Amino acid sequence: MAKKVTCIEGGICAPKGFLSAAVGCGIKDPKVKRLDLGLIYSEAPTVGWAVYTQNEVCAAPVRLSSSYLKSHPPRAIIVNSGNANACTGHQGMLDARTMADSTANSLGILRREVQVCSTGIIGVPLPMDRIEREIAPLGQSLKADGDDIARAVMTSDTQPKSVAAEFKIGRKKVRIGAVAKGAGMINPHMATMLCFVTTDANISQAEVKAATNEAVAQSFNRISVDGDMSTNDTVIVMANGQAENDRIVRSGNGSGDFREALTQVMLHLAKMIVADGERVTKLVEVKVTGAASRLDAERVARAVGNSKLVKCSWNGNDPNWGRVIHAVGYSGARVKEEMVEIHFDGVIACQNGLAAKTNIDELSAAVKKDEFTVCINLNIGKGSYSLFTSDLSPEYVEFNREEYALNRKS
Amino acid sequence: MAKKVTCIEGGICAPKGFLSAAVGCGIKDPKVKRLDLGLIYSEAPTVGWAVYTQNEVCAAPVRLSSSYLKSHPPRAIIVNSGNANACTGHQGMLDARTMADSTANSLGILRREVQVCSTGIIGVPLPMDRIEREIAPLGQSLKADGDDIARAVMTSDTQPKSVAAEFKIGRKKVRIGAVAKGAGMINPHMATMLCFVTTDANISQAEVKAATNEAVAQSFNRISVDGDMSTNDTVIVMANGQAENDRIVRSGNGSGDFREALTQVMLHLAKMIVADGERVTKLVEVKVTGAASRLDAERVARAVGNSKLVKCSWNGNDPNWGRVIHAVGYSGARVKEEMVEIHFDGVIACQNGLAAKTNIDELSAAVKKDEFTVCINLNIGKGSYSLFTSDLSPEYVEFNREEYALNRKS
């Protein structure tokens, strides 16, 4: 966190006026009662914004929630793990709507103030009998404790992911709390990246929307695990004004601080998502500089960060700059081969497009680390971009081999 | 092969007037004398065309050969395996030029009539002392036998790949021969897809160019192993007119038959490339129909065929249509989820965007085959495209983990 922002305890219930609860209803398997249904609620009215997957095939809860967002800011989030309620047709929409209705009834708010999120297997209807009866009790058991909800959203995440931060706007302390679950590589069940952010900042609707879009672009849109985009990805930000700071408006006092803190909170969770899971052994930052444009820099970072051959070499601690430069070459960016420079964690591997005269053991040591940086300087312009990604392990493939048939047989 | 085209023996030397030879010079390791340098030559003057990698980072031999192609049709090909002569700077260009010079001298032809090809590791200079001295003897040992050259181009291919075909134009028999080596998934050494085609057809320069571009688009550009594009990919077609058929010109007699035969020869080798290698267990055709446009259909086929999660499920014999439809969704193509239909080898898995009521064992049996088809009908238009691809195995990752360091230490 930057100097002005302090990490604190409490997760999504660190900001004033936010409550949460979670319960186990055996969504995936009635015999296993792990926490799989959660609720987040702001006691006071809110402003807020959400960003959803751009996948054309999107889940029923995403369709429902995005339609609600158009008219009402989110004040409560009902979320389940174990089943994505995706590719479930008309019944899926009815089920998502029932989840919103029950939640609204339980809290005495409007249905359209509820955001519904689901994560888990695709193409299987929700077990609504088990879910619906748990929602009213959930509304009764709300408390200012974010631990259970952080567990309830997990699918194959190996650990809960939450963070909270505090900073000052004028003389008022403002807090941001957040919880997330991971996706893709760390998740053999094709589930989703979810992130819910709460803040007690007093902020305008326009500014919370702009800040959310900016922070997502700088964090969750800058991670790549396996290049796949889920049907359910959702980031929701709710702000309830309980910190009583002077209202933050666009380009006004505190706007820069709020955006920076929000970005840092999301980036912190984004990196946790990439690093999580025993099947990932490396967190790698691909930093591209000297590109003809920012877009070209992003093209290079994504081509390198998504290349199966590059990711395999990282898994083997192999400083294979040849594979990196070949991905640079097919990225679609303007490249002058004889200008390209590649460093592995500060150790030069390639200069002027040629092998640098670095000792191989020094290079190998650089990529042996759990976290390292690959810097690629194209040396032709000022465009830059950085992406957080991971290696590709044999275990990733093993864990992703046979989900569907197993689930249909169970 | 189609009805008019017959498969014959003889590889690239099946057509009249083509000779080849190969030798082992220990390019990768002086102690191992496997065949690694080969020569193909047409006794008579030729017309011809070549298609090269579109990677911005391309190898010295690709740069040299493409410049020669601008002024002269290819009459000889000198090719080495074990070293790609890529990212080797000025010295790499000098070395490629020396290979062309020595070949031209040995054959008494112009330097610019020689195409130079290399495949193997990136970023290491060619061992020119070992290569140069073998080129003149190679020119002396040419014979009408394509077996050795098919071995000389192999890197980690598990078997040589060649094919020859015969068909009639008027009353004349015309032959096409071809040799290829594989790339990507079946190749832990990041090497290249190479294909050399010989034909004794009498054909115009303009028509051989058009036919080559069309056949490559229908074959090598329709396979995807790991989504990576090599620095050295090259397809070269040489035609020497020795079949004495009436000259084939654009839209003229025999043009359709020639194009069809050339496409079939290339497609045959393209499929062999995908299927080769113990680390690939499946050859999968992704057939997309009903798209809004041909481009949309291609987007869907490539998104599905390159998805790591989809490819993992195939490796596990898992009929996971959820992962397929989620890749359809992020492909960038226009998609109406409720219209999407997915079949695994003729067995319906998804109808109207929902799970079809097919028995899971029947679906599992479909994807258990070594070769199967995934048909995706978007049901919104007439665009179609098909792509040949493979599964992603844990062994692929194992084999691609540490090439560079090993090679630098040896």
CATH number, domain with residue A356: 3.10.20.340
Structure tokens belonging to residue A316 = 């083997």
CB A210 within 8 A of CB A255: no
| pLDDT band at residue A406 under the 50/70/90 scheme | low
Decide if A403 is inside a domain: no
Cβ-defined contact of A396 to B401 (cutoff 8 Å)? no
pLDDT one-digit tens code per residue, B128-149: 999 999 999 999 999 999 999 9
Across A188-197, A392-401, B385-394, least confident range: A188-197
Structure tokens belonging to residue B74 = 């290819």
Co-location of A68 and A212 in the same domain: yes
Co-location of B166 and B237 in the same domain: yes
The alpha carbon of residue B391 is apart from the nearest alpha carbon of chain A, in Å, by 10
| pLDDT band at residue B54 under the 50/70/90 scheme | confident
Start-to-end CA distance of chain A, whole Å, equals 45
pLDDT at B278: 57
Co-location of A145 and A216 in the same domain: yes
Q: How far apart are CA A35 and CA A26, in angstroms?
A: 8
Co-location of A154 and A84 in the same domain: yes
Find tokens 């330097």 and name the residue: B111
pLDDT at A187: 37
Co-location of A296 and A358 in the same domain: yes
For the segment A254-274, the average pLDDT, to the nearest whole number, is 93
The type of residue at B130 is R
Please say if the pLDDT value at position A265 is more than 60: yes
pLDDT at A202: 98
Give all strands (DSSP E) within A299-361, no chain letters.
341-344, 347-351, 354-355
For the segment A1-22, the average pLDDT, to the nearest whole number, is 89
Of A308, A335, A394, the CB nearest to B308: A308
Domain residues for the domain of A94 are 6-275
Please say if the pLDDT value at position B222 is more than 90: no
Cβ-defined contact of A337 to B57 (cutoff 8 Å)? yes
**Closest chain A CA to residue B91:** A354
Q: Which of A46, A53, A155, A192 is catalytic?
A: A192
The alpha carbon of residue B204 is apart from the nearest alpha carbon of chain A, in Å, by 33
Please say if the pLDDT value at position A190 is more than 50: no
Q: How far apart are CA A107 and CA A36, in angstroms?
A: 20
Question: Distance of CA A177 to CAs A159, A201, A264, Å?
Answer: 17, 11, 11
**One-letter-per-residue 3-state SS of B19-43:** EEEEECCCCCCCCCCCCCEEEEEEC
**Closest chain A CA to residue B184:** A309
Domains of chain B: total: 2
The type of residue at B323 is R
Query: Please, which residues bridge with residue B166 across strands?
Result: B6, B175
Average pLDDT, chain B: 90
Q: How far apart are CA A291 and CA A379, in angstroms?
A: 7
Cβ-defined contact of A404 to B89 (cutoff 8 Å)? no
Q: How many CA atoms lie within 13 A of A292 on its CB side?
A: 8
Grouping H, G, I as helix, E, B as strand and the rest as coil, residue A55 is coil
Grouping H, G, I as helix, E, B as strand and the rest as coil, residue A118 is strand
The alpha carbon of residue A237 is apart from the nearest alpha carbon of chain B, in Å, by 24
Last residue within a domain, chosen from A230, A246, A275:
A275
For the segment B184-210, the average pLDDT, to the nearest whole number, is 79
Please say if the pLDDT value at position B362 is more than 70: yes
Co-location of A182 and A44 in the same domain: yes
Please say if the pLDDT value at position A402 is more than 90: no
Please say if the pLDDT value at position B379 is more than 60: yes
Among candidates A227, A211, A306, which has minimal Cα distance to A261?
A: A211
CB B335 within 8 A of CB B329: yes
CB A320 within 8 A of CB A368: no
CB B335 within 8 A of CB B378: yes
More confident residue, B195 or A158: B195
Phi/psi at B151 (nearest 5 deg)?
Answer: -80, -35
The type of residue at B311 is K
Grouping H, G, I as helix, E, B as strand and the rest as coil, residue A361 is helix
Question: Distance of CA A320 to CAs A182, B103, B166, B279, Å?
Answer: 28, 33, 44, 21
For the segment B56-85, the average pLDDT, to the nearest whole number, is 94
**Contacts for A83 with CB less than 8 Å, ≥ 6 apart:** A27, A28, A118, A120, A121, A124, A126, A127
**Contacts for B70 with CB less than 8 Å, ≥ 6 apart:** none
Neighbours of B70 (CB within 10 A): 7
Phi and psi based region of residue B314 (left: phi greater than 0; alpha: psi -120 to 50; beta: remaining): alpha
Most B CBs within 10 Å, among A156, A330, A334, A364, to test the B interface = A330
For the segment B296-302, the average pLDDT, to the nearest whole number, is 94
Please indicate whether residue B46 is annotated as part of the active site.
no
Cβ-defined contact of B312 to A401 (cutoff 8 Å)? yes
CB B341 within 8 A of CB B379: yes
Please say if the pLDDT value at position A140 is more than 90: yes
A229 Cα distance to chain centroid? 11
Co-location of B240 and B384 in the same domain: no
| pLDDT band at residue B319 under the 50/70/90 scheme | very high
Structure tokens belonging to residue A213 = 């879009």
Phi/psi at A185 (nearest 5 deg)?
Answer: -50, -40
Decide if B235 is inside a domain: yes
- Run of H or E including A261: helix A255-275
pLDDT one-digit tens code per residue, A279-325: 788 999 999 999 999 999 999 999 999 888 899 899 999 999 988 99
Cβ-defined contact of A308 to B231 (cutoff 8 Å)? no
Last residue within a domain, chosen from B275, B291, B322:
B275
Decide if B403 is inside a domain: no
Average pLDDT, chain A: 90
| A:B CB pairs within 8 Å | 235
More confident residue, B409 or A258: A258
Co-location of B117 and B265 in the same domain: yes
Decide if B405 is inside a domain: no
Please say if the pLDDT value at position B188 is more than 50: no
CB B98 within 8 A of CB B198: no
Last residue within a domain, chosen from A275, A306, A333:
A275
Please say if the pLDDT value at position A120 is more than 90: no
**Closest chain B CA to residue A87:** B354
Most B CBs within 10 Å, among A340, A391, A400, A406, to test the B interface = A400
The alpha carbon of residue A348 is apart from the nearest alpha carbon of chain B, in Å, by 14
Decide if A205 is inside a domain: yes
Please say if the pLDDT value at position B186 is more than 60: no
Please say if the pLDDT value at position A410 is more than 50: no
Co-location of A168 and A268 in the same domain: yes
pLDDT one-digit tens code per residue, A34-78: 999 999 999 999 999 999 988 888 899 999 999 999 999 999 999
Co-location of B194 and B291 in the same domain: no
Co-location of B345 and B262 in the same domain: no
Decide if B398 is inside a domain: no
- Alpha-helical (H) ranges within A141-254 are 147-152, 205-218
pLDDT one-digit tens code per residue, B336-345: 999 999 999 9
Co-location of B93 and B196 in the same domain: yes
Question: What DSSP state is assigned to residue A196?
Answer: E
For the segment B80-101, the average pLDDT, to the nearest whole number, is 95
Q: How far apart are CA A116 and CA A96, in angstroms?
A: 7
Question: What DSSP state is assigned to residue A300?
Answer: H
Decide if A398 is inside a domain: no
Most B CBs within 10 Å, among A225, A401, A403, to test the B interface = A401
Q: How far apart are CA A61 and CA B84, in angstroms?
A: 51
The type of residue at A192 is T
Of A121, A313, A401, the CB nearest to B315: A401
CB B391 within 8 A of CB B281: yes
Residue B167's domain is classified under what CATH number? 3.60.70.12
Decide if B100 is inside a domain: yes
Cβ-defined contact of A394 to B392 (cutoff 8 Å)? no
Find tokens 């004040």 and name the residue: A75
Across A263-277, B214-228, B356-370, B384-398, least confident range: B214-228
% of chain A surpassing 90 pLDDT: 71
% of chain A surpassing 70 pLDDT: 93
